[in-house]
Structure 1
Amino acid sequence: MSLFAGRDYRHLFAAQVVALFGTGLATVALALLAYDLAGERAGAVLGTALVIKMLAYVVIAPLAGAYADRLPRRGFLAVLDVVRAAVVLALPFVTEIWQVYLLIFVLQSASAAFTPTFQAVLPDILPDEKQYTRALSASSLASSMETLLSPVLAAALLSVMSFHWLFSGTTAGFLASALLVLTTRVPRAKPTARTAVLDRVAAGARIFLATPRLRAVLALDLAVAGAGAVVMVNTVNYVHDVLGFADAEVALLLAANGVGTIVVALALPRVLDRLAERTVMTTGALALCAGLAGALGLSLVDGGWAAALAVWALLGAGAGLVLTPVGRVLRRSTAEADRPAIFAAQFSLSHACWLLSYPIAGWGVTAFGFTAGWAALGVLTAGGTIAAVVLWPRRDPEVLTHVHYDVPADDDHIADAVRTADGGWRHAHAFTIDGRHRRWPGGVPVSA
């Protein structure tokens, strides 16, 4: 409870919760809107809408991260919430599929700027690592509760009203989020030393590609995308066309996915006090592989409703194990001034992985069936899992010994360094890629 004693975090968390619940209602409503407009081709329509969403995330997030340190973040976040509320309010009135695509692009462009900026604020208001870890778990728990409860709420509402009214819940959530953000003291970001536009935009990606554990995180993002596309894109068609159930069962199967994640979110704070992030996250990736194997089995043999609930729950648990610790890994892999850039890079690069999985789940399953489509997604998930295990060193200390060359002897950074025989300066500290450290230590100098 001490985590919520601080007013600023309490308000930000509340803003996240209300926006999440609104988004959860819209997720169910969007799937049903696609089915209403396209029938059996709903998977293809939803897949296209989600590809548009990913394109917005991949392009807009790095731009937002590059300039987040130059904007008043509180006002910026509130404006983005209002934009999202306005767009969602228009969705119930669309009559053509292209209108859905246009509104989704605008909506997700705002989300692409909002989410990484919001994520980068948390480490600034919670400098203590244990509190930050618990905040990450609380955020995961909130997401899980939304996944669990908003479909249940949607199922209840769908029994008495048209799904078009669900969009109004999203609008209310975004507006409430904007008000809560405005009542929070959000510190300005620490300015980065980078001035060139391209350098600022690409900084996060460069840090990712130069840091071994972050390359592994990117591989795990691919595993999550491969498994998650089954849930996000194919649930509505699987329930309607294979199981033969109605809209309420769509919401319940999505809720089962949330149950898996919520169990993980409740357990992870204590688990992460004892186990390394690598162990937890690779275990989650293996759970995703098992869940996709189960889904593939359901496509071959009718396992029934109970089996589907179990598989969707396992997929949710695996995603929670992978995604909840990511913030901790990003935080210890980056200097404070680079946090907006690295959170934006994670947001952008992870969603680039969904650009691979969403077309397979949408167009591939529509054209070739569940078995072929889910087998292809299984290849993505297994490949990401194997790559993560290989890329992430088992021994991954925070403090690393490294050598600098061509650094002035009076530079404060090497005040504690020892001169080497070849003219370099050797010292050790908590290592991150930045302006002074452009390569990971490993027989190669970190600066030239």
Structure 2
Amino acid sequence: MKKAVSPFENTTFRRLFAAQITSLIGSGLTQVALALLAFELMGVHAAIVLGFVWASRVLASVIFAPIFGGLVHRLPRQSWLIGLDIGRAVLVLCLFWVEDVRLLYLLIFLINVLSAGFTPVFQAVLPDVLPDEAVYTRALSYSRLAYEMERVLSPALAGIALFVMSFHALFLLNALSFVVSAILLSLTVFPAMVVGERTGGIWHNISFGLNAYLQTPRLQGLLALHLVVAATGAMVIINTVAYVQGELGLSEQATVWVMAASGLGAMIAARLTPWLLENHFNDRNLVLIAGVIMLLPLVPLALTKPDVISLAILWAIIGFASSLVLTTSGRLVTRSCRKADRSAYFSANFALSHLMWLICYPLAGWWGNLGTNIAAIGLGLVGLLGVLLAVWRWPVKDVEALKHWHEEMDHQHPHYHDEHHQHEHEGWEGEEPHIHPHHHHEIQHSHRFVIDEHHAHWPRH
């Protein structure tokens, strides 16, 4: 078997990855600075502010990601991403002068809205840059690794920075990181956009990604596994502090190290995912096994009282398994859509996965107040439901080419001469893609099937 080349051999990917790293570091510094700013403004009630930070991130993703994803196919992606980076830089810079908690809430929400427009569109660019699936999988691995490393290292970097500057200066560094990211994006040669076939109104374009995603069986399975990731991840994020410092009576440092174990497990999985997919598992089997593995650490938590070392190992297992799902998800989304529709599909994946967190966060807090074992049982049952739904909705034989039927119709939209557009021209229609009235004969045929303008429903077999 020919070994896949490294994605870093691609200049465009190197610059995109550098932009991602830069903005991730800056965002990580801001998370620490926000906690300190919240304490300055609210004192012992700072948790209210931090709760709003988490809630606004999830709500902005659920509400605005499909809107941006449905409309961005009409805009130049490079300019869109650069504009959002500049917008985030300005908003983060404003945090430097915040003295009123209401203004802080507004700025945080707006930053998260812009991030909801940036992240999925950025994700949708990568498979255009790296069309070879093996190379793309390695790129997903590095991207996930960068995210997890930021999660583990940012508090340490912020702590070092605070030795020489005030926490307000961390906002300046984050603003600078977004500016550097924008510069890197401006120096990047983006692949030419493929003109899409969607011509409907605003609502049609906004709802397209969600409707298409929810009609695709493998993505239904992926969404169910996102529920497992959210259930187990919420257990880690919400209940670690209460268990380590409350039930075990240990220090804040112990909490930090236990949380870091989850990130370490995730980093290991991110590096192993390409090797596992190339040599041992297909996508479906790997992520379903990962879904089961995610649930196993909740069993000893429900039945016993693990010590801090055991808890760190359990959290590392959850981080490892969840990273297998999250790293593989990009392949599954890319496989399920046309090139022109990738932003809509990735935005739908971004929004719906955050919806799973919106469900699981309050459950983790509610059950956690009743006891760590109750939370483990409750969230374990939620995760088990997710695994069962994934097995049920995702066919074992996940073939891409499906036989299906088209009714006779007349319409017009931008199109290339693919398997659905074989017709005569009069000479005035121009180069492809072009728009003109055309006729579709009634036909039954088989090809790679995705939900798009010509395939509104998944075929039944």
**Taking structure 2 as the reference length, what is the TM-score of the superposition?**
0.83
Superimposed CA distance per residue, residues 197-248 of structure 1 (whole angstroms, 9 cap, x where no aligned partner): 1110011111112111111111111111112223344445555545555555
Q: Which residue of 1 aligns with 2:289?
A: 283
Q: Which residue of 1 aligns with 2:403?
A: 401
2:364 to 361, 365, 382: 361
CA distance in 2: counterparts of 1:90 and 1:280, whole angstroms:
44
1:226 to 231, 243, 259: 231
Q: Percent identity?
A: 41
| Contact 2:258–2:308, Cα closer than 8 Å, also in 1 | no
**SS of equivalent to 2:297:** helix
* Aligned counterparts, 1:192-207, within 5 A: 192-195=196-199, 196-207=201-212
Matched pairs, number: 431
Residues 82 and 165 of structure 1: is their aligned pair in 2 closer, same or farther, counting only changes over 3 Å?
same
| Contact 1:31–1:46, Cα closer than 8 Å, also in 2 | yes
Q: Answer with 279-288 or 187-196: which moved more.
A: 187-196
* AA in 2 matched with 1:380: V
Superimposed CA distance per residue, residues 307-362 of structure 1 (whole angstroms, 9 cap, x where no aligned partner): 23222212211210111111111111111111111011111111111111222334
Give the superposition deviation at 1:393.
0.9
* Aligned counterparts, 1:279-318, within 5 A: 279-296=285-302, 301=305, 303-318=306-321
Residues 43 and 251 of structure 1: is their aligned pair in 2 closer, same or farther, counting only changes over 3 Å?
same
**SS of equivalent to 1:324:** helix
* Aligned counterparts, 1:16-415, within 5 A: 16-31=20-35, 45-91=49-95, 94=98, 97-154=101-158, 156=160, 166-195=170-199, 196-236=201-241, 238-244=243-249, 248-274=253-279, 275-296=281-302, 301=305, 303-362=306-365, 364=366, 368-406=370-408, 413=420
Q: Answer with 309-318 or 147-156: which moved more.
A: 147-156
* AA in 2 matched with 1:197: I
Q: Structure 2, unaligned stretches of length 5 or more?
A: 411-416, 423-440
Residues 242 and 24 of structure 1: is their aligned pair in 2 closer, same or farther, counting only changes over 3 Å?
farther
| Contact 1:222–1:353, Cα closer than 8 Å, also in 2 | yes
Q: Answer with 251-260 or 135-144: which moved more.
A: 251-260
Superimposed CA distance per residue, residues 48-75 of structure 1 (whole angstroms, 9 cap, x where no aligned partner): 4322211111111111112212222222
Give the superposition deviation at 1:395.
0.9
Residues 62 and 411 of structure 1: is their aligned pair in 2 closer, same or farther, counting only changes over 3 Å?
closer
Residues 102 and 249 of structure 1: is their aligned pair in 2 closer, same or farther, counting only changes over 3 Å?
farther
Q: Structure 1, unaligned stretches of length 5 or more?
A: 416-422, 444-448
| Contact 2:6–2:138, Cα closer than 8 Å, also in 1 | no
| Contact 2:73–2:341, Cα closer than 8 Å, also in 1 | no
Give the superposition deviation at 1:76.
1.8
| Contact 1:155–1:252, Cα closer than 8 Å, also in 2 | no
Give the superposition deviation at 1:97.
5.0
* AA in 1 matched with 2:9: A
Q: Answer with 28-37 or 58-67: which moved more.
A: 28-37
Q: Which residue of 2 aligns with 1:425?
A: 443
Residues 357 and 88 of structure 1: is their aligned pair in 2 closer, same or farther, counting only changes over 3 Å?
farther
**SS of equivalent to 2:30:** helix
* AA in 2 matched with 1:377: L
CA distance in 1: counterparts of 2:405 and 2:262, whole angstroms:
48
CA distance in 1: counterparts of 2:123 and 2:11, whole angstroms:
17
Give the superposition deviation at 1:175.
2.5
2:19 to 15, 20, 36: 15
Q: Which has the higher helix share?
A: 1
